[in-house]
Every structure is written in C-alpha cells, then in structure tokens.
Amino acid sequence: MNMPLAPYEVISSGLNLFFALIIGIAFGFILERGGLGNAKKLIGQFTLTDLTVFKVMFTAIVTVMIGLFFLSAFGLANLELISNSDTYWIPQILGGLILGVGFAVAGYCPGTTIVGMATGKLDALASFLGLIFGSLVFVAIFDWIEDFYWSTHLKNDHFSQVFAIEFGTSVFIVICIAILGFITAEIIESKSRGSTQK
C-alpha cells in the first residue's frame, strides 16, 4: 500500500502540487468542453432546462468514490490518509445556501468562474471579482463568526459511519441514487425540450 503518494512520501509535496495543477487544468479543460464555461448553460440547472452541471458533477463524484473504494479494497490505497473536510452541518448548510444564491445570480460557481475566464468571458471575470470580494469579507469577519464556523461538528461524518453500514453498501446506495438521478435528469430535460418545441 503506497497511496496516496504524498502522505506516504513517495513523491514530494511540491511534485504533488504540480500534479494537482496538471489535473486541475485537465478538469477545467473537460468542464469547458462540456459547456460549463458558459453561464447560460449553467443557469439551466436552476430553470430545469439543462441539467449538465448535475450530471457532470455527480459523474465526477461517483467516479472518484468507486475508484477509491476499489483501490482501498485491494489494499492499494489507505483512505485514512486522504484528507477531507470535516462536517459542521449547520454552518455548511448556510455556506451552501450563500454559494447557491451567488451561483444563481452570477451563473457561475467558483470553479466554472475560472473556466469562463480562461475563454475570455467578461461575466466570468465579474463573478471572479465578486468571489475575491466575498472571500475578503469572510476573512475580515472570521473572528466574529468563528464560534459558529466550528459549531455542530459531526464526528462520524462519512455516509457509511453515520448510518453504520459497510463502506461497500454505501457505495452501492450512492450508485443507485446516481442512476435514479441520471434517469430523472433525462426525463426532466426531455419534457423541457418538448414544452419548448410546442
């Protein structure tokens, strides 16, 4: 077992950052090719006319989950060494709502803002400036909200830990949810296309 590579010191943290940069550029390229650098396409998520964002993001989540599960199951990766943010459920729900409002207003989420900027879109640049401003405001008021920020911490924050089920079972459940989600998205999109044609 020697994955993840950086925590096991197979590669240096500098090389790890370099790989992250390459993967980030590749991810951004794929998002752009998938049309996610365009605010009109992204806003279709909220008007239920184009659910590409949902499908792309859920595919990414499911792909990583399945990959990590099998790497762990065959003893190639130690999941305990993969860092992930802890769950602080009330602050994170509020943060999600704020991000959602920003997404709906601007037509971009933070990642797609960069993708949009890379193709020279001015609305993406405006969203990026808003993102920087929002981040600065967050830093400025952090001392006042710090207690709230660290509140409602869930110690067992993995899906399988919360529901006391095996990791493989939780993978199976998330896959079932993904399949239902993909089918539902197709139905919603086809109905939306049908009503537009009428």
Partner 1 sequence: MISKLSLQLKVVILILISLGIASFVIGGKKAINPDEASLSFSEFDQVITTPVETISSVQLADYLMKQEHHYNLIDLQGKNSGYQIPTSESHSIKSFLELKIPVNETVFIYSSFETEALQLYYLLLIRGYFKVKILAGGIDAWTAQILQPLKDDIPAEELEHRKRLTNFFGGSIRNESNRSKSVSFKPVVLEKKKKKHQGC
- From 69, 95, 192, 194, select the one nearest 148 (Cα to Cα): 95
User: Which of 5, 28, 54, 78 is close enough to bind partner 1 by CB under 8 A?
Assistant: 78
Q: Does 9 bind partner 1 (CB under 8 A)?
A: yes
Q: Which stretch binds partner 1 (CB under 8 A): 29-37, 89-97, 133-141, 169-177?
A: 169-177
Q: Which stretch binds partner 1 (CB under 8 A): 30-38, 90-98, 110-118, 170-178?
A: 170-178
Shortest reach from residue 4's CB to partner 1, in Å: 9
* CB-nearer residue toward partner 1: 132 or 179: 179
Q: How far is CA 65 from CA 128, 129, 172, 174, in A?
A: 29, 33, 10, 9
Residue 68 in tokens: 């990590």
DSSP bridge pairs for 154: 87
Q: Does 172 bind partner 1 (CB under 8 A)?
A: yes
Q: Does 151 bind partner 1 (CB under 8 A)?
A: no
* CB-nearer residue toward partner 1: 49 or 167: 167
- Report phi then psi at 168, rounded to 5: -60, -35
Residue type, 39: A
Q: Which residue's structure tokens are 């459940």? A: 173
- From 130, 84, 137, 138, select the one nearest 109 (Cα to Cα): 130
> What count of Cα atoms within 13 Å lies in the side-chain half-sphere of residue 78?
10
Binding mask 21-60 for partner 1 (x = CB under 8 A): ----------------------------------------
- Which residues are near partner 1 by CB under 8 A? 1, 7-9, 62, 66, 69-70, 72-75, 78, 80-81, 83-86, 160, 166-169, 171-172, 175-176, 178-179, 182-183, 186-187, 190
